């Protein structure tokens, strides 16, 4: 069979090759015909279009998703901003155009020229930004004199507008211009230099949902660069709208309470993990980031010793102080070291070896069981049970309560905190664990570090029967047309290692802390509603060394090392609907500085009325679901 292809005289494949030649000729004729059509028939028209590069692309920026509170109150929207650009190739002569322009706008021509010179080397058809966000007056002036200003283009861009200055600034975050590193990282495909992206908070976490999709226009322009015809348009898609879990009225109240203080407040729904308020003080003005801020503004923000750029609720670590006694109580009850009736005598101090550990109350608490120890925050009681427990067993329970690890909230840079063990100390310092350190740890001092958010998951767990939920910061996400795409359902991340019996005992102690005259949080007591809670006063002496931040040292000096004040609480005690956590840096006593703030928030929550029924209805629904 092969012979057909072998002999030179076999016509067979020669015929096929001849056929191939005809096919090739036809294909080339088609190409030449097309060339003739483009270069001869359409030639003049295409030459004209090429002259000034008439066909250009223009961006249509998508409108970024709006941010609401849980009740649909608008917190963040977009406003149109008019940006002044110049296209060098169209602005002939450039100097003259700039000269005229600076007459209409109150900016010296030299400033414009220096901006133009900075962009040397880019294609002369690329618009160069001269001035962002010119006012409506300037816009009107330019529109009127448009024909004297060839190459000057005003582009409308949606610009972020944070309606309530400084409100929920840390939670919502802010936008900033994308950096070249971020562009190169590959995480931001479809972005271009000059785009604004979320840099912090919700704006950053949900960037992909908020952003929307860029559109554009193919336009034909005349010799002065003005659009004569729109050839094709691809519409931009607006981003999704986010309904945060916070209640704006509660958020505002929390911020008012922190006015002039450094600290944080979190309010949470214990039954769902939804965060109803998250305030960190001092705050910053997000609108200042929208147009880019000066070096001085930025420096004053980052060098402020009260750290306004830090979300203290999530990113800051503090010693848990007496709040930690909740964990110690759970651990010793669960381990059977004591029961509800076991009592110790507190003379105001405790001797361990040759060292004396003091109770905060010099006169002592007399006979103390676990409920009274929690209510009156007796140190001696917890020294003794802590000693019996040992540091490692205590650490196990602390971890089961969610301490020492991130809660998984959808915010950047969440701090993990620190729960020390004997092995951890040996690895870190090379020195073995000392018994005295166990006593410090048992009352929440020593190496322990927690974030306010972690304390919230702990107190919420106590309130809801022992479940740890992921803290949720949004309630739902909708498309711009209002189609629901994500209803943020509760996510269980773990359980406190606690039996119902132990839980009852602990809850009794926390109830007495607020509702008995001798309780440390008596000040938070109100008539309308039963509140349960635990105070804490974080000594700072033990903190130096574990955290050597210079700005903190400065603050310490300013405040003469006053301790931080803690208070965590939930209400109503029997059927908890909200949990509140307060930390006031250098507030001195948890009872005096933090507890009243929590009381105010809880009464506000109860008095908001309409919002209260709405939120409580929701939590009922969630419970049933």
Partner 1 sequence: MFDRRLVQNFDWSLLSLAFILGFLGLVTLYSSVTAGTQVPQMEYYKQLVWYFVGLIFLVISFLFNYKIFDRWGHIIYILCISILVGVLIFGEGSKGAMRWLKFGLFSIQPSELVKIAVIIIMARYYSKHANTTGLTLRELINPFLLTIIPFILIVKQPDLGTAILIVLIAGSMTVFIKIERRSFLYLILSGVISIPLVWFFLREYQKARILTFLDPDRDPLGTGYHIIQSKIAIGSGMISGKGFLKGTQNALSFLPEQHTDFIFSVLAEEWGLIGSVIILIVFLILIIKGLNVAYRCREPFGTILSVGITAMIFWQVIINIGMVMGLLPVVGVTLPFISYGGSSLITVMICIGLLINVSMRRFMVE
Please give the positions annotated as active site.
322
Which residues inside 494-523 make contact with partner 1, applying CB under 8 A? Answer: none
We find the least distance from the C-beta atom of residue 9 to partner 1, in angstroms, to be 10
Closest CB to partner 1 among 208 and 347? 208
Q: Residue 131 in contact with residue 238, Cβ under 8 Å?
A: no
DSSP state of 318: B
| Residues 511, 570: Cα–Cα separation, whole Å | 9
Closest CB to partner 1 among 228 and 356? 228
What is the chain's Cα-based Rg?
34
Which residues inside 117-176 make contact with partner 1, applying CB under 8 A? Answer: 123-125
Closest CB to partner 1 among 14 and 426? 14
| Residues 98, 114: Cα–Cα separation, whole Å | 11
- By the rule CB under 8 A, 492 interacts with partner 1: no
Tell me which of 102, 132, 148, 218 binds partner 1, using CB under 8 A.
Answer: 218
- By the rule CB under 8 A, 14 interacts with partner 1: yes
How many Å separate Cα 598 from the centre of its chain? 23
Closest CB to partner 1 among 53 and 85? 53
**Residue in 595, 605, 314 with CA at minimum distance from that of residue 470:** 314
Output the six-digit token pair for 567.
Answer: 């208070």
We find the least distance from the C-beta atom of residue 212 to partner 1, in angstroms, to be 15
We find the least distance from the C-beta atom of residue 190 to partner 1, in angstroms, to be 11
Q: Assign 60 to helix, strand or coil.
A: strand
Phi–psi pair at 394, nearest 5 degrees: -60, -40
The secondary structure element, H or E, covering residue 137 is helix 136-144
We find the least distance from the C-beta atom of residue 180 to partner 1, in angstroms, to be 17
Closest CB to partner 1 among 238 and 263? 238
- By the rule CB under 8 A, 227 interacts with partner 1: no
| Residues 606, 612: Cα–Cα separation, whole Å | 6
| Residues 247, 259: Cα–Cα separation, whole Å | 18
Question: What's the 3-state SS for 501-555?
Answer: HHHHHHHHHHHHHHHCCCCCCHHHCCCCCCCEEEEEEECCCCCCCCCCCHHHHHH
Closest CB to partner 1 among 62 and 320? 62
- By the rule CB under 8 A, 234 interacts with partner 1: yes
- The pairing of beta strand 349-352 with beta strand 263-268: unpaired
Q: Residue 321 in contact with residue 446, Cβ under 8 Å?
A: no
- By the rule CB under 8 A, 4 interacts with partner 1: yes
Which residues inside 181-210 make contact with partner 1, applying CB under 8 A? Answer: 186
Which residues inside 22-61 make contact with partner 1, applying CB under 8 A? Answer: 24-25, 27-28, 30-32, 34-36, 38-40, 42-47, 49-51, 53, 55, 57
Tell me which of 163, 231, 485, 492 binds partner 1, using CB under 8 A.
Answer: 231
| Residues 149, 133: Cα–Cα separation, whole Å | 19
The secondary structure element, H or E, covering residue 265 is strand 263-268
Where are the strands (E) in 359-513, listed by range?
A: 366-368, 467-469, 474-478, 484-487, 492-495
We find the least distance from the C-beta atom of residue 48 to partner 1, in angstroms, to be 8
Q: Residue 440 in contact with residue 542, Cβ under 8 Å?
A: yes
Residue count, binding to partner 1 (CB under 8 A)? 50
We find the least distance from the C-beta atom of residue 63 to partner 1, in angstroms, to be 18
We find the least distance from the C-beta atom of residue 6 to partner 1, in angstroms, to be 6
Closest CB to partner 1 among 231 and 302? 231
Binding site for partner 1 (CB under 8 A): 1-2, 4-8, 12-14, 16-17, 20-21, 24-25, 27-28, 30-32, 34-36, 38-40, 42-47, 49-51, 53, 55, 57, 123-125, 186, 215-216, 218, 231-234
């Amino acid at each position: 069979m092969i012979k057909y292809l072998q002999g030179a005289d076999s016509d067979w494949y020669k015929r096929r090759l001849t056929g191939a030649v005809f096919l090739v000729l036809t294909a080339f004729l088609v190409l030449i015909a097309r060339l003739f059509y483009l270069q001869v028939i359409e030639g003049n028209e295409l030459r004209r279009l090429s002259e000034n590069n008439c066909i250009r692309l223009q961006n249509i920026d998508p409108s970024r998703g709006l941010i609401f509170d849980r009740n649909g109150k608008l917190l963040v929207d977009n406003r149109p901003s008019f940006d002044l650009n110049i296209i060098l190739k169209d602005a002939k002569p450039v100097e003259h155009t700039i000269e005229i322009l600076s007459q209409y706008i109150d900016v010296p021509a030299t400033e414009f020229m220096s901006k133009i010179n900075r962009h040397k080397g880019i294609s002369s058809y690329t618009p160069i930004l001269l001035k962002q966000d010119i006012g409506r007056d300037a816009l009107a002036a330019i529109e009127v004199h448009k024909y004297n200003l060839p190459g000057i283009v005003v582009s409308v861009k949606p610009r972020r507008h944070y309606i309530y200055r400084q409100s929920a600034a840390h939670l919502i975050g802010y936008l900033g211009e994308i950096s070249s590193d971020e562009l190169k990282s590959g995480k931001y495909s479809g972005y271009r230099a000059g785009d604004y992206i979320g840099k912090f908070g919700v704006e950053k976490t949900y960037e992909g949902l908020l952003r929307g999709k860029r559109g554009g226009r193919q336009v034909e322009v005349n010799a002065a660069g003005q659009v004569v015809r729109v050839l094709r348009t691809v519409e931009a898609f607006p981003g999704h709208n986010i309904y945060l879990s916070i209640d704006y009225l509660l958020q505002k109240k929390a911020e008012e309470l922190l006015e002039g203080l450094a600290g944080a407040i979190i309010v949470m729904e214990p039954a769902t993990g939804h965060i109803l308020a998250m305030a960190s003080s001092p705050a910053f003005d997000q609108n200042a980031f929208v147009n880019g801020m000066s070096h001085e503004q930025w420096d004053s923000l980052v060098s402020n010793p009260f750290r306004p750029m830090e979300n203290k609720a999530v990113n800051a670590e503090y010693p848990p102080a007496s709040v930690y006694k909740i964990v110690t109580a759970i651990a010793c009850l669960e381990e059977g070291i004591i029961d509800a009736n076991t009592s110790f005598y507190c003379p105001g101090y405790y001797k361990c070896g040759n060292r004396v550990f003091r109770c905060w109350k010099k006169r002592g608490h007399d006979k103390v069981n676990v409920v009274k120890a929690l209510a009156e925050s007796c140190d001696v009681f917890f020294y003794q049970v802590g000693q019996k427990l040992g540091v490692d067993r205590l650490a196990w329970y602390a971890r089961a309560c969610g301490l020492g690890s991130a809660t998984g909230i959808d915010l950047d840079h969440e701090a993990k905190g620190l729960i020390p063990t004997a092995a951890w100390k040996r690895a870190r310092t090379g020195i073995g664990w000392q018994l005295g350190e166990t006593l410090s740890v048992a009352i929440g001092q020593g190496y322990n570090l927690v974030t306010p958010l972690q304390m919230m998951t702990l107190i919420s767990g106590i309130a809801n029967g022992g479940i740890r939920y992921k803290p949720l910061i949004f309630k739902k996400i909708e498309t711009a047309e209002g189609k629901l795409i994500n209803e943020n359902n509760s996510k269980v991340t773990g359980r406190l290692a606690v039996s119902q019996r132990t839980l009852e005992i602990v809850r009794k102690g926390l109830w007495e802390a607020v509702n008995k005259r001798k309780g440390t949080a008596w000040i938070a007591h109100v008539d309308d509603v039963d509140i349960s809670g635990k105070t804490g006063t974080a000594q700072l002496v033990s903190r130096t060394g574990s955290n050597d931040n210079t700005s903190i040292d400065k603050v310490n000096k300013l405040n003469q090392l006053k301790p931080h004040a803690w208070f965590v609480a939930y209400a109503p005690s029997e059927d908890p609907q909200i949990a509140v956590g307060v930390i006031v840096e250098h507030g001195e006593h948890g009872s005096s500085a933090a507890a009243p703030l929590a009381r105010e928030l809880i009464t506000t929550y109860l008095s908001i009325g309409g919002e209260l029924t709405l939120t409580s209805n929701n939590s009922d629904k969630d419970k049933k679901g």
